[in-house]
Amino acid sequence: MFVYRQKPSAAKLIISLQPFLLPRPLKIGNLFQYLLARFTNMKNLPGVVVVAFLLSIPVVSQRSDAALRGVTEKDKGSRSVDGRLQTLSAAEHLDPAALEGALKRGALVAGTAMFIDEALPRFLRDVGERWHRGSFTPAHEHLASDTVRRVLGWLVEAYDVARDAPVLLVATPSTEMHELGAMLAAAAAAGEGWRVVYLGPNLPAADIVGAASQVGAAAIALSVVFADGESTVRELRTIVATLPPGTVMMIGGPAAIRLERLIADTDIRVVRDLDSLRAFLRDRRAQQADVAAD
């Protein structure tokens, strides 16, 4: 059973003092989002506010035996394992509020890059393993996926993006229903100061190209996790052949790597991981700034 220990009035106090503590109106009306934006963009956030707020979040004080399975005795007690157990317990108990809280707390504690690159994929893999073993049902998987989608959306929104930032369009191609890799790519790109237009999963070639052209995308990034058949290769070839000139096309994810050889004769870039995506986007932004300065 889950028992929550709600630390008393620190949060209420901070929230009631919010208009006085915070120097500008909250963009998204959520203190957490605000704190995250401050965390990632600048270093001057008063530690006391963070600590008090973190303490005010409901803490899972009792863990389920099932969630503990797969974590070794020697792992227990470490901070990241605590977070891992809380997220798995919350998913197991179909408790979206507890899961969202635990994930957001994880993002604040680990920092966004570590959260996006390590903590979140590990959580999704944990869910996947349980799903395959049969201890998690499709309902558990759906709840976990939906909550992760919300938390990633919250992360992307928390970044202040410059008005003239280049646009990255993110989606998955037709028949690819796995969208969480695409969302991680979107969050990583937002962290690099790109304006992200996220279109979700299973989008036909013509719609991807139409949207890229409408928003003036400098690049598109597609996640391909499972779909590695001939029809996907055809879709990808159609996209790269019909994109507006100069728009870079990237694909990433496990199936993208399997497809690399089959699209080697095109201008599609296979990006191996999120760090490579970040490096590429950083370089492109720097080039754009140089051109603007000339």
Q: Among residues 64, 145, 242, 266, which is the contact residue for ligand B12, using CB under 6 A? A: 145
Regarding 152 and contact with ligand B12 (CB under 6 A), the answer is no
Q: Read off the DSSP letter of residue 119.
A: I
Q: How far is the CB of 182 from ligand B12 (least distance, A)?
A: 6
Q: What distance lies between CA 237 and its chain's CA centroid?
A: 27
Q: Among residues 156, 212, 271, 281, which is the contact residue for ligand B12, using CB under 6 A? A: 271
Strand order in the sheet with 195-198: 195-198, 167-171, 219-223, 248-252, 269-270
Sites for ligand B12 among residues 125-144 (CB under 6 A): 125, 127-128, 131-132, 141
SS3 of 39-77: HHHCCCCCHHHHHHHHHHCCEECCCCHHHHCCCCHHHCC
- Stretch near ligand B12 under the rule CB under 6 A, chosen from 44-52, 55-63, 70-78, 246-254: 246-254
Question: Which CB, 202 or 213, lies closer to ligand B12?
Answer: 202
Q: Tell how strand 269-270 and strand 219-223 pair up.
A: unpaired
Burial of 24 (0-12, 13-18, 19+ CB in 10 A): exposed
Regarding 180 and contact with ligand B12 (CB under 6 A), the answer is yes
Q: Among residues 184, 205, 218, 220, which is the contact residue for ligand B12, using CB under 6 A? A: 184
Regarding 177 and contact with ligand B12 (CB under 6 A), the answer is yes
Q: How far apart are CA 81 and CA 78, in angstroms?
A: 5
Q: How many Cβ atoms are within 10 Å of 293's Cβ, its own excluded?
A: 6
Question: Which CB, 54 or 67, lies closer to ligand B12?
Answer: 67
Helix, strand, or coil (residue 223): strand
Q: How far is the CB of 121 from ligand B12 (least distance, A)?
A: 4
Q: How far is the CB of 109 from ligand B12 (least distance, A)?
A: 19
Q: How far is the CB of 66 from ligand B12 (least distance, A)?
A: 17
Name the nearest CA neighbour of 262 among 279, 245, 237.
Answer: 237
Q: How far is the CB of 291 from ligand B12 (least distance, A)?
A: 24
Catalog residues that contact ligand B12 under the rule CB under 6 A: 121, 124-125, 127-128, 131-132, 141, 145, 175-182, 184-185, 221, 223, 225-227, 250, 252-254, 271, 273-274, 277
